[in-house]
Chains A and B, each alone.
With several copies, the nearest count.
Chain A
Amino acid sequence: MSAAHMTGAPAGTAAAESAAVAEDYTQTELIVCAAAELLAGKRTVFAGIGLPTLAVDLAHRTLNRDIELIYESGVAGAHPEAMAEGIADSVVVSGAESVVSMQALFGYVLQGGNVDVGFLGAAQIDRHGSLNTSVIGDWEQPAVRLPGSGGATDIMANAGEVFVIIRRHDHASFPAELDFVTSPSPVAARASGRGIMPQGHGVSTVITPLGVLRREDRFGELVLTHTHPGVTVEQVREATGWELAVADEVAVTAEPTVEQVRLLREEIDTVRLYLR
């Protein structure tokens, strides 16, 4: 995807400069920009905390003014004046279009099928996009106790699709089998034969430090579609704990532009909370 896709870029020489590829950018900035680009055309986004906060804010400023930010704390249509330091930060409330009860948020907005994209993080992801955010090791006595579900299990079951941003790409984080299935893919849900099937697609997109994986089929596997600049397909396959499917044509992830990096550093995460 080229910078010409970006709307709202000023015309002329300055525009050409700000649309140019940035000379220095971090891996985090690359990931955030890739995530932002994928939000073009999406309507309602359930924004988690951390890198998704940056991606959604960047997309809102550069690509998609109609994007509606929804937070599990009850806010729909947030217009934060400063970067939110949490999903229930006071700045997501002040000036928001609506604050509803958590029951309305989880019951009507999310479970009611009004969220196009949910953003989730994970410690582990499997080939069908099931996520583990509960434990490394055994649940009864874990090696690492992770945050657990929070809203993740609910988001996976109900959002139209789920984007995952994950900061590691190795056999520990992309294992053949999860230590614990917190938020199941539609494949895992179908296999269980219990409860109500997820109403959405499950994970459609995974953005990792090495590339981008996508799932086209609701019951299919993740497929490598992009490698980041300087990363080979073979590196990604070796870093993945299963036989990773690879697209016929693997593209290279677009590098951040000068303007994207400027926005991230100078307007969005001015305190470097997430851009570390």
Chain B
Amino acid sequence: MRTTESRERKLPVKAMELDEAIASFVHDGDTVALEGFSHLIPFAAGHEIIRQGRRHLTFCRMTPDLIADMLIAADCVDRLVCSFFASGSAGSLHEIRRRLERREPRPLAVEEYSHHAMVLRYHAGASRLPFMPIRSFAGSEIPGINPDIREVENPYGEGTVYVVPPLNPDVTVIHAQRADARGNAQIWGITGVQQEAVYAAKRVIVTVEEIVDDEVIRADPNRTLIPAHAVDAVCVVPRGAHPSYVQGTYDRDNAFYRMWPPLAKDPAALREWLDTHVRGTASHAEYLERIGEEHLRSLEVASRPSGAVDYGRRRAQA
């Protein structure tokens, strides 16, 4: 038999500044998940972790993306838990490659999974389950380099089933389109693994494009992917996902993504970029000034409204 530590209880949420939230909830040595599958990547929060100089983090992200190159180059990370080591169509993450291919400037520990396995690790974490079964991995060499991928006997038939263990971050940070002041957060477009990663974590920071009136949230409760009871801090950070995107608000900065691999291929240029854009700025607002208002405006999108549905309100019955 096995008991699991209960989640920490959440007090009614207080909206706060991002720097205060990172200072309060992200500590050296923590296991930190920054999730968002290409969409809604919490870059502003990642940058603030760099500004505050966190060290020895275990960094969890299905698709590490540029934010991983940045955090690792800033020496925040000792260990990477992920299922992909590149940046989608944009190519290599050179800081990660230097660490793994040449151990420059030092090694980086890696726990490697498939995408579905990472989804299931967060799911097991959120559900306080000791493992989740998966159909993948029969014949793959991934279990051979990851002793945490194990097997159980199928009690309903023959043979074994691969299982993966829970992933329970100390802190999960996500970015959402909007929330109310208590932390009920709504997301549309690609919703990624955010709900699972939030419930799996001990502490949760949600950055949002805007805080809206309670009634906006309560008019459409099915869009609330993250209920307030799971959230410790909600921070208003407009354009907080740049250079990734926010469905309906601004598009991915594809020029930035294309610029990154050649830049990050040169360690000195990468560090200079961090000094200028992250360590050399006091806040995300200053970072955005460096990127430039005109460029940011070019990322805006035209409108495509969802239409409304009706939730109804009871009348007295006959």
A and B touch in the complex (CB under 8 A): yes
Residues of B within 8 A of A144 (CB): 97, 101
Interface string of A90-125 (1 = CB under 8 A from B): 110111111111111011111111101000000000
Beta-carbon contact of A148 and B83 below 8 Å: yes
Interface string of A158-193 (1 = CB under 8 A from B): 101000000000000000000011111111111111
A261, CB-defined interface residue at 8 Å: no
Please, how many angstroms separate the alpha-carbon atoms of A193 and B139 in the complex? 8
Binds B, one of A195-203, A206-214, A228-236: A195-203
Beta-carbon contact of B139 and A191 below 8 Å: yes
B251, CB-defined interface residue at 8 Å: yes
Beta-carbon contact of A77 and B228 below 8 Å: yes
* Also in contact, A102 and B227, with CB within 8 A (given A111-B128, A158-B135, A181-B140): no
For the complex of A and B, list the 3 residue pairs with the smallest distance between their C-beta atoms, beginning with the closest: A184-B139, A88-B38, A195-B138
Partner of B85, one of A86, A143, A148, A152: A148
Contacts A100-B195, A196-B2 given; 11 further ones with Cβ under 8 A? A66-B12, A90-B301, A95-B311, A108-B195, A108-B230, A141-B101, A144-B101, A146-B85, A150-B63, A157-B136, A273-B89
Interface string of A29-49 (1 = CB under 8 A from B): 000000000000001100001
B247, CB-defined interface residue at 8 Å: yes
Beta-carbon contact of A110 and B4 below 8 Å: no
Partner of B4, one of A96, A113, A184: A113
Residues of A within 8 A of B103 (CB): 141
Which positions in A face B, CB cutoff 8 Å?
Answer: 43-44, 49-50, 66, 68, 72-77, 79, 81-82, 85-91, 93-104, 106-114, 116, 130, 134, 139, 141-154, 157-158, 160, 180-200, 273
Residues of A within 8 A of B227 (CB): 76-77, 97-98, 100, 109
Which positions in B face A, CB cutoff 8 Å?
Answer: 1-4, 6-7, 9-12, 37-39, 63, 82-86, 88-89, 96-97, 100-101, 103, 112-117, 119, 123, 126-130, 134-143, 145, 151, 159-162, 180, 182, 184, 188-193, 195-196, 199-200, 214, 217-219, 221-222, 224-230, 245, 247, 251-252, 254, 301, 304, 311-314
Q: Which of B101, B199, B227 has the most chain A CB atoms closer than 10 A to its own CB? A: B227
Beta-carbon contact of A195 and B224 below 8 Å: no
Partner of B184, one of A77, A101, A113, A116: A77
Residues of A within 8 A of B114 (CB): 149-154
Residues of B within 8 A of A142 (CB): 100-101
Residues of B within 8 A of A196 (CB): 1-4, 130, 135, 138, 159, 161-162
- A114 CB to nearest chain B CB (Å): 6
- A98 CB to nearest chain B CB (Å): 3
Please, how many angstroms separate the alpha-carbon atoms of A49 and B257 in the complex? 15
What are 16 A-B pairs with beta-carbon distances under 8 A?
A77-B221, A81-B313, A94-B304, A98-B184, A98-B227, A99-B188, A99-B189, A111-B127, A114-B229, A134-B142, A143-B101, A147-B84, A153-B142, A192-B138, A196-B130, A198-B139
Partner of A86, one of B135, B138, B252, B312: B252
Partner of A98, one of B86, B142, B224, B301: B224
Residues of A within 8 A of B7 (CB): 112-114
Q: Which of B137, B188, B252 has the most chain A CB atoms closer than 10 A to its own CB? A: B137
Please, how many angstroms separate the alpha-carbon atoms of A193 and B6 in the complex? 21
Beta-carbon contact of A90 and B63 below 8 Å: no
Residues of A within 8 A of B117 (CB): 154
Beta-carbon contact of B112 and A148 below 8 Å: yes
Beta-carbon contact of B137 and A195 below 8 Å: yes
Chain A residue with Cβ nearest B97? A145
Residues of A within 8 A of B314 (CB): 81-82, 90-91, 94
- B115 CB to nearest chain A CB (Å): 4
Partner of A113, one of B6, B39, B219, B313: B6
Beta-carbon contact of B162 and A99 below 8 Å: no
Please, how many angstroms separate the alpha-carbon atoms of A82 and B126 in the complex? 33
Residues of A within 8 A of B251 (CB): 90
- A52 CB to nearest chain B CB (Å): 11
Residues of B within 8 A of A183 (CB): 140
Q: Which of A50, A107, A181 has the most chain B CB atoms closer than 10 A to its own CB? A: A107
Residues of B within 8 A of A73 (CB): 37-39, 190, 192
Residues of B within 8 A of A85 (CB): 89, 252, 254
